[in-house]
Amino acid sequence: MSPKRLVIFWIIPNVLFYLAFIAALIFVFTQSEEIREAGQMGIWALMILTLLIIAVLGSARIKYWLKR
15-60 pLDDT per residue, tens: 999 999 999 999 999 999 999 999 999 999 999 999 999 999 999 9
What is the spatial distance between Cα 11 and Cα 59, in angstroms, rounded to a whole number?
Answer: 8
Q: What is the pTM of this model?
A: 0.85
Q: Which letter, b or e, does each residue of 3-38 get, where b requires 16 or more Cβ atoms within 10 Å of its Cβ?
A: eeeeeeeeeeebeebbebbeebeeebeeeeeebeee
User: Taking the domains of the chain in order of start, what are their residue ranges?
Assistant: 9-67
Task: Quote the Cα angle for 12-18-21, to 5°.
Answer: 140
